[in-house]
C-alpha cells in the first residue's frame, strides 16, 4: 500500500462488520512486524483512559496482529498489549510517508520504524482508541457487552426469549450490538428485505423460524459483503486497489425512489429507531395491530365511501380535514392564522375570507400548511397510540406534502379521472368547486405521489364497485392480521 492511502470510511453510515473486516485485512500488512517509535496524540479525548500511559506503554512495541469482533478492531502488540479501536461514523486510518503532512483530521499518529506513519483520522471525533492487554481486552466494558456475531449463533432460542413481549421493532433489535454484533443500518435493511420481514414488526411477533431465517440471511449477506470488500455507499476506499463493491449487490438499502426488484412496488422510506430505513411495502408486510392505513386522493375521489367500508369492519377513523376544520373553530388557532396573513378574524377562522385570500395569494398556501401540518401530525400520532382496533385509518389528502408518510404501514390512493372529479365537485357545491379543484391540483400532487401508495383504487365507475374493491383490500389486510 503506497503513501497517502486511506483505510476506512468517509460517509454518514457507521462501518459495519464487512467494512471493518476489510479494513482489518488491509491494515495487517501495513503494521504487522513494525515498531512504534513515536505517538502524537492530537486530540486527547480520542484516547479512552490515561493519554500518557497510552503513549509510554506503546513506544518500542511491535505490531503482531490485527483482529476484529463486531465493529471493533484490535491491534495486538508485543508485551501482550492490545489497542481497541472503534471507528464509529467517520474513523479512518491513513498510511503516509514520514515526511508527508498529517491528514487534516488526524487525531492520533503512530510513527513506525519503516519510514511510514499511520494516522487515525476522524472528522467527527466519535471514534475511540483504548489500551488494554491480551488478558483483559475481551473483558473491557465496550467488548464484554457485545452479543454474538451471526456466524456464531447456532441456536436462536435466546433471541426468541429476548424478544418475547417486546414491542421494539425488529430493525432496532437486530442492530442492537449487545444482542447481535456487527449488523448496522445497511445490512439490517438488506437482511430484512431478504427475509421479507417489515422493519417495524414488533419483536414479539417474530417467530422462531423467522429468527432462523434472519441469522441465515445475515451470514449469507455478510459473507458476500466481506468477499466484495464491503460497501462503497459514498466514498469508501479501504486501500490501494481495493474498493468496496458490495453496493452493486444492494437490493433495498438507500433505494427509496426505486422499485423493488422482486415485485416492482416502489420502495418506501421510514425511520426505525431513528435510523433511515428502506423497504418494500408489498414484499415486507407489517404484522401486528393496529394496521396504520393512510387514505389519499383528490377531492371528490370517493374517500368517504372507502372510510365507511373500513368503519363497517370496526376500524378507527381519523379525518385530517375534519380535524383542521375543528382547529379553525378555536380562538387560539384563529388568532395565529390571522397574524400569519394579517387578516381580521374574531373568535374563529373565517373560512370564506381565508379561501379568498389564498386564491389571491396561492404561494401562501404552503405557509398555511407549514403551520397546520405539525399540529395535525401530532394528533395523528396520538390517534394511533390510543387505537385498539385492527385498523387505524387516517384520511390525509396531503399526506406527502405534510411529510407524514413514514407514520403509516399501508397507503391507499383513491384515483379518479379529472372529468369525473369536476362533475362530482359541481354536484357537491358549485360555489367552491373551482377553488377545491385548484387546491387539489396545485398542492396535492396526486399524480406524482400515487405511485408511492401500496394500493391504488380507481373510482370512475359506480359506488357499489368502489365498495367491493375496498372490501377486497380490507380482506387482504385481515389475512395478515388473523
Catalytic: which of 240, 275, 348, 480? 275
Q: In the beta sheet, which residues pair with residue 96?
A: 117
Q: Are 23 and 71 within one domain?
A: yes
DSSP state of 126: -
CA–CA separation, 432 and 427 (whole Å): 11
Task: Determine contact, residues 37/113, Cβ cutoff 8 Å.
Answer: yes
Arithmetic mean of pLDDT, 452-466: 86
Catalytic: which of 15, 202, 290, 397? 15
Q: Are 207 and 258 within one domain?
A: yes
pLDDT single digits (tens) 443-457: 456 777 887 888 889
With respect to residue 41, please indicate whether it lies within any of the assigned structural domains: yes
Known catalytic residue at 275: yes
Q: Are 326 and 442 within one domain?
A: yes
Catalytic: which of 71, 117, 268, 437? 71
Give pLDDT, residue 214: 98
CATH classification of the domain holding 225 = 1.10.8.50
179 to 43, 146, 150, 155, 172: CA distances (angstroms)? 32, 7, 10, 13, 11
* C-alpha cell at position 239: 486501500
Q: Are 327 and 462 within one domain?
A: yes
Q: How many domains does the chain have?
A: 3
pLDDT single digits (tens) 291-330: 899 999 877 788 899 999 999 999 999 999 899 999 999 9
If one compares 396 and 217, the residue with the highest pLDDT of the two is: 217
CATH classification of the domain holding 99 = 3.20.190.10
Using alpha carbons only, give the angle 211, 282, 263 rounded to the nearest 5 degrees.
105
Q: How many CA atoms lie within 13 A of 380 on its CB side?
A: 27
Q: Are 140 and 154 within one domain?
A: no
Q: Are 234 and 299 within one domain?
A: no
* C-alpha cell at position 204: 414479539
pLDDT single digits (tens) 15-47: 889 989 988 998 999 999 999 999 999 999 999
**Full-model pTM:** 0.76
With respect to residue 192, please indicate whether it lies within any of the assigned structural domains: yes
Q: Are 129 and 227 within one domain?
A: no
474 to 315, 393, 478: CA distances (angstroms)? 10, 11, 6
Catalytic: which of 5, 16, 19, 395? 16
* Residue 260 domain boundaries: 150-279
Arithmetic mean of pLDDT, 88-108: 92
Q: Are 218 and 305 within one domain?
A: no
Give pLDDT, residue 53: 97
Amino acid at each position: 500500500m503506497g503513501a497517502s492511502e486511506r483505510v476506512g470510511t468517509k460517509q454518514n453510515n457507521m462501518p459495519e462488520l464487512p467494512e471493518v473486516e476489510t479494513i482489518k485485512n488491509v491494515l495487517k500488512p501495513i503494521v504487522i512486524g513494525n515498531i512504534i517509535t513515536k505517538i502524537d496524540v492530537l486530540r486527547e479525548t480520542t484516547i479512552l483512559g490515561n493519554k500518557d500511559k497510552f503513549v509510554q506503554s506503546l513506544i518500542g512495541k511491535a505490531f503482531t496482529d490485527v483482529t476484529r469482533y463486531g465493529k471493533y478492531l484490535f491491534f495486538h502488540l508485543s508485551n501482550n498489549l492490545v489497542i481497541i479501536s472503534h471507528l464509529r461514523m467517520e474513523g479512518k486510518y491513513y498510511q503516509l510517508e514520514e515526511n508527508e503532512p498529517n491528514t487534516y483530521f488526524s487525531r492520533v499518529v503512530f510513527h513506525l520504524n519503516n519510514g511510514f506513519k499511520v494516522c487515525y483520522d476522524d472528522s467527527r471525533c466519535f471514534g475511540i482508541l483504548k489500551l488494554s492487554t491480551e488478558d483483559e481486552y475481551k473483558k473491557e466494558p465496550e467488548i464484554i457487552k457485545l452479543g454474538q456475531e451471526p456466524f456464531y449463533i447456532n441456536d436462536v432460542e435466546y433471541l426468541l426469549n429476548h424478544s418475547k413481549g417486546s414491542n421494539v421493532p425488529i430493525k432496532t433489535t437486530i442492530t442492537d450490538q449487545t444482542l447481535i454484533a456487527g449488523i448496522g443500518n445497511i445490512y439490517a435493511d438488506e437482511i430484512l428485505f431478504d427475509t421479507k420481514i417489515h422493519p417495524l414488526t414488533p419483536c414479539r411477533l417474530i417467530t422462531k423460524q423467522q429468527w432462523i431465517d434472519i441469522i441465515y440471511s445475515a451470514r449469507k449477506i455478510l459473507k458476500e459483503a466481506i468477499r466484495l470488500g464491503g460497501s462503497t455507499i459514498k466514498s469508501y476506499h479501504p486501500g490501494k486497489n481495493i474498493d468496496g463493491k458490495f453496493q452493486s449487490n444492494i437490493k433495498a438499502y438507500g433505494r427509496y425512489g426505486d422499485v423493488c426488484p422482486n415485485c416492482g412496488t416502489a420502495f418506501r422510506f421510514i425511520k426505525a429507531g431513528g435510523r433511515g430505513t428502506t423497504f418494500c411495502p408489498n414484499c415486507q408486510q407489517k404484522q401486528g395491530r393496529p394496521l396504520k392505513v393512510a387514505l389519499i386522493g383528490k377531492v371528490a375521489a370517493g374517500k368517504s365511501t372507502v372510510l365507511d367500508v373500513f368503519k363497517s369492519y370496526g376500524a378507527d377513523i381519523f379525518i385530517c380535514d375534519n380535524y383542521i376544520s375543528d382547529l379553525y373553530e378555536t380562538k387560539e388557532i384563529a388568532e395565529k392564522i390571522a397574524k400569519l396573513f394579517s387578516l381580521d378574524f374574531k373568535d374563529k377562522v373565517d373560512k370564506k375570507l381565508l379561501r379568498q385570500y389564498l386564491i389571491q395569494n396561492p404561494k401562501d398556501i404552503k405557509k398555511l400548511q407549514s403551520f397546520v401540518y405539525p399540529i395535525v401530525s401530532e394528533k395523528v400520532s396520538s390517534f394511533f397510540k390510543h387505537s385498539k382496533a385492527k385498523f387505524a385509518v387516517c384520511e390525509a389528502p396531503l399526506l406527502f406534502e405534510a411529510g407524514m408518510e413514514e407514520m403509516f404501514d399501508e397507503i391507499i390512493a383513491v384515483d379518479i379521472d379529472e372529468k369525473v372529479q369536476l362533475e362530482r365537485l359541481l354536484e357537491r357545491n358549485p360555489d367552491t368547486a373551482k377553488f377545491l379543484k385548484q387546491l387539489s391540483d396545485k398542492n396535492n400532487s396526486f399524480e406524482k405521489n400515487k405511485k408511492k401508495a401500496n394500493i391504488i383504487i380507481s373510482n370512475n365507475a359506480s359506488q357499489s364497485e368502489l365498495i367491493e374493491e375496498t372490501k377486497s383490500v380490507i380482506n387482504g389486510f385481515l389475512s395478515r392480521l388473523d
